Amino acid sequence: MSMDEFENEGQPRGSPRRIISPDDYEDRIGSIEPMAFLPVGSGLSYGDGRRNDSGTLIECGRHNRILAFDPGTGILTCEAGVTLGDILARAVPHRFFLPVTPATALVTVGGAVANDVHGGNHHGRGSFGNHVRRLTLLRSAGERMVCSPEENAELFAATIGGMGLTGLILDVELRLMKVPSPHVQRHTIRFENLDQYFTLVDRAGEEHEYVAAWVDQLATGRRTGRGVLWAADHADGACEFPDIPKRLKLSVPFSPPVNLLNSVTLRAWNEYRFRKQSPGETVSTVKWTTYFHPLDGINGWNRLYGRRGLCQHQSVYPAANAPETTARLLETARRMGHATVQTRLQRFGDVAASGLLSFPRPGFSLTLDFADHGETTIKLLDALDRIVVEAGGAISPCGDFRMSPEAFDASFPSWRRLEALRDPAMASNFWRRTALALRAG
C-alpha cells in the first residue's frame, strides 16, 4: 500500500503526479532535463524524500524480477522493484532470511537501499546497505555503472542512503542470512521506567539477534519511560509453524470522522498494553510475519490516524546522553499536547554504515508516531529537532517533510559530497528544501 494512494483520498500532503516506467525513462535518455525525475518504489516513506512535485516519478515497482538465487550461498540478485516480501517468499523455504528487515515487507529493494533501512538487529548486523554486494545504477547520461565497495566505490556509498538522487538503481545483489527457522522465539520483558530499560538493553543486545522496545510516552513521575522490551532470535528448526503462514487480511475502509487516537484513549490503551505483560520475563514462539511485519496484514492502517494522517519523528543520539535525551523528547511531546500512538526505542550498534548519508549510526534511536494536528505538530517536531541536534544526534529524513536546512546540515554534514555525485536529472522535494536551500545560501 503506497502512502500516495492514501494521501490521494483527501490527505493534505498529496497531489497528483506524473509517473513513467523505468523503460520510458531509459528511452528519454539524451533529452533529459535537470532535476526533472525521481525514482519511487512502493511509496511507503512517510516524508517528501520520495516526491518531486515539479517533476516526474519513475515507478520502479514495475521491474520486479528475481534474477538469480543460489540456495547454497544465499546470494540473491534482483531488479530494484522486487519487494522484501518477494525475497522472503523465495528464500524462506531454503532457510534463508533477509539479514535486515524493516517493519514492513512491502518496501522495494530500491527503496530499502536508497533509505538504508534498518531492523531490530541493527546492534549486530548494521543496516540494509551493509548486506549489498553490488548494484547497477543507470545515470541520466546513459551509462550503466556497476557499483560495489570495490568498483565505483564513491558512487556506491553515495547511493546507499542516497534517497534516489544518484540515479536509477536497476538491480541489486544481496547476501541473505542462513536461519534455522524464519519464525522467532521471543522474550518479553516489562520495564518500570527508563533507568530499567537502559540497564536491560545492553545485555539483551549481547544475547539476542533482535531487540526493540515500546515505551509508554504518557507515563510520568517515577514511571517515566516504562514499557515493554522484546528480545528475539530465530527459533530452532523444530518450530511447528508452516514456512509461509497464511495471513488474514484486515482493512480500515475510511478515516474515522472523530479523532479516536487522543490522549484519553491512548492513556487507557497504554495502561492496558503495559499491564497485559506481567512483571518479569515470558517466552513465546511467534510467526515471522506477525513478529516482523505486523501492519502488512491490515489494508489502510494509516487511516486510523485521521484525515491529516500520520507524522513520524525518528532520531538517533549518542549513548552517552541517551537517558536524558530520551526523557526530554518524551516529555516535550507530552507537554506540547501530543500523545504518540507508537513509541519505539532501540539501540543502534557500532557497525559502520556503508552509505555516505545513512541515518543509522551508533547510539539510541527513538521513533514517535502521532496523528498530525497541523501547526501545533510542526512546532513540536521543530522542538524535538532542537533537542536532538543539541544532543549531537540526527533526524531521519525518511519520515520527514519539514526539517529545517540547519537541522539537516547538523544531522548529515556529508551532504555536499552527495550533492557533488547527484545525478543532475534527479531531485526531490526534500533535497530542494534542505540541501539545495543550503547551497543557495
Ligand X SMILES: Cc1cc2nc3c(=O)[nH]c(=O)nc-3n(C[C@H](O)[C@H](O)[C@H](O)COP(=O)(O)OP(=O)(O)OC[C@H]3O[C@@H](n4cnc5c(N)ncnc54)[C@H](O)[C@@H]3O)c2cc1C
Which is nearer to ligand X, 40 or 189 (by Cβ)? 40
Dihedral angle of Cα 403, 140, 81, 175, to the nearest 10 degrees: -90
Amino acid present at 425: A
Please report whether residue 55 would count as binding ligand X according to CB under 6 A.
Answer: no
Say how many Å lie between the first and final Cα of the chain, rounded.
38
- Contact yes or no for 326/345 (Cβ under 8 A): yes
Among 66-74, 98-106, 220-228, 278-286, the segment contacting ligand X (CB under 6 A): 98-106
Which is nearer to ligand X, 227 or 309 (by Cβ)? 309
Using the Cα atoms of residue 381, residue 369, residue 409 and residue 392 in order, give the sign of their dihedral: positive
Applying CB under 6 A, which of residues 55, 85, 110, 182 lies at the interface with ligand X? 110
Applying CB under 6 A, which of residues 45, 56, 185, 224 lies at the interface with ligand X? 45
Please report whether residue 44 would count as binding ligand X according to CB under 6 A.
Answer: yes
Amino acid present at 382: D
What 8-state DSSP symbol labels residue 283? E
Please give the Cα distance from 255 to 238 (Å, whole number).
Answer: 43
Least distance in angstroms from the C-beta of 104 to ligand X: 4
Please report whether residue 107 would count as binding ligand X according to CB under 6 A.
Answer: yes
Please give the Cα distance from 25 to 39 (Å, whole number).
Answer: 10
> CA 178 → CA 74, 91, 96, 333, distances in Å?
7, 9, 5, 41
Binding mask 382-411 for ligand X (x = CB under 6 A): ----------------x-------------
Which is nearer to ligand X, 198 or 430 (by Cβ)? 430
Applying CB under 6 A, which of residues 108, 121, 188, 325 lies at the interface with ligand X? 108
Which is nearer to ligand X, 193 or 399 (by Cβ)? 399
Least distance in angstroms from the C-beta of 279 to ligand X: 28
Written as nine digits, the cell of 66 is 528475481
Binding mask 152-181 for ligand X (x = CB under 6 A): -----------xx---xx------------
Which region, left, alpha or beta, applies to residue 339 given φ > 0 means left and ψ of -120 to 50 means alpha?
A: beta
Please report whether residue 102 would count as binding ligand X according to CB under 6 A.
Answer: yes
Task: Classify strands 56-59 and 184-191 as parallel, antiparallel or unpaired.
Answer: unpaired
Among 42-50, 349-357, 378-386, 405-413, the segment contacting ligand X (CB under 6 A): 42-50
Please report whether residue 117 would count as binding ligand X according to CB under 6 A.
Answer: yes
Please give the Cα distance from 143 to 92 (Å, whole number).
Answer: 35
Residues of this chain, 251-310, that bind ligand X according to CB under 6 A = 295
Please give the Cα distance from 57 to 81 (Å, whole number).
Answer: 14
Least distance in angstroms from the C-beta of 303 to ligand X: 13
Among 110-118, 149-157, 183-191, 380-388, the segment contacting ligand X (CB under 6 A): 110-118
Which is nearer to ligand X, 43 or 205 (by Cβ)? 43
Applying CB under 6 A, which of residues 91, 96, 118, 410 lies at the interface with ligand X? 118
Using the Cα atoms of residue 210, residue 216, residue 220 and residue 222 in order, give the sign of their dihedral: negative
3-state secondary structure of 307: coil
Residues that bind ligand X (CB under 6 A): 38-45, 49-50, 60, 80, 102-104, 107-108, 110-112, 114-115, 117-119, 163-164, 168-169, 295, 398
